[in-house]
């Protein structure tokens, strides 16, 4: 067999020459890529921020799923359900791990703050 006949052979892993990709041709012409999978926290955030309708008495309003869950847990806690309290505390512990840290202002008791607090506010009756 000649080299030309070897090049035209088809079989497993060797498609016919006329159906092969041309040089510089992409196998994904529309550039459709698979979606990146979401991690657990992103999935929970997406689901908990989804709006739902809740009915309180005669009124219906839209709230996030998270707000509806917390409202229901709070209602059960008020009735004395300790299991609801435990669930809410677990959620709070979980949320604290993934919340962005915020700055907290702490006031320290010292001579300056005590003196500042001791000064009465002077009200000007003309400006009221």
pLDDT top residue among 37 and 50: 50
**Confidence grade of residue 32 (pLDDT, cut at 50, 70, 90):** confident
66: which residues sit within 8 A by CB, 6+ positions away? 48, 49
Mean pLDDT of 69-96: 88
Q: What is the pLDDT of residue 126?
A: 54
pLDDT at 60 over 90: yes
Query: pLDDT: is 107 or 13 the higher one?
Result: 13
Q: How far apart are CA 85 and CA 91, in angstroms?
A: 10
Q: What pLDDT, on a 0 to 100 scale, did the predictor assign at position 59?
A: 92
- Largest Cα–Cα distance of the chain, in whole Å? 112
Q: What is the pTM of this model?
A: 0.46
- Name the band, by pLDDT with cuts 50, 70 and 90, for residue 63: very high
CA atoms of 121 and 117, how far apart (whole Å): 9
Measured CA to CA, the distance from residue 7 to residue 21 in angstroms comes to 15
- The pLDDT score that the predictor gives to residue 83 is 94
What pLDDT does 33 receive? 83
Task: Say whether pLDDT at 62 is over 90.
Answer: yes
pLDDT at 106: 64
């Amino acid at each position: 067999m000649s080299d030309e006949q070897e090049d035209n052979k088809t079989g497993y892993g060797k498609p016919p020459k006329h159906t092969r990709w041309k040089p510089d041709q992409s196998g994904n012409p529309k550039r459709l890529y698979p979606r990146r999978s979401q991690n657990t926290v992103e999935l929970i955030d997406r689901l908990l921020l989804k709006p739902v309708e809740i009915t309180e008495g005669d009124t219906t309003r839209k709230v996030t799923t998270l707000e509806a869950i917390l409202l229901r847990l709070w209602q059960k806690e008020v009735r004395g359900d300790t299991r609801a309290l435990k669930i809410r505390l677990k959620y709070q512990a979980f949320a604290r791990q993934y919340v962005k840290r915020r700055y907290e202002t702490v006031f320290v008791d010292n001579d300056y703050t005590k003196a500042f607090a001791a000064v009465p506010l002077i009200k000007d009756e003309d400006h009221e």
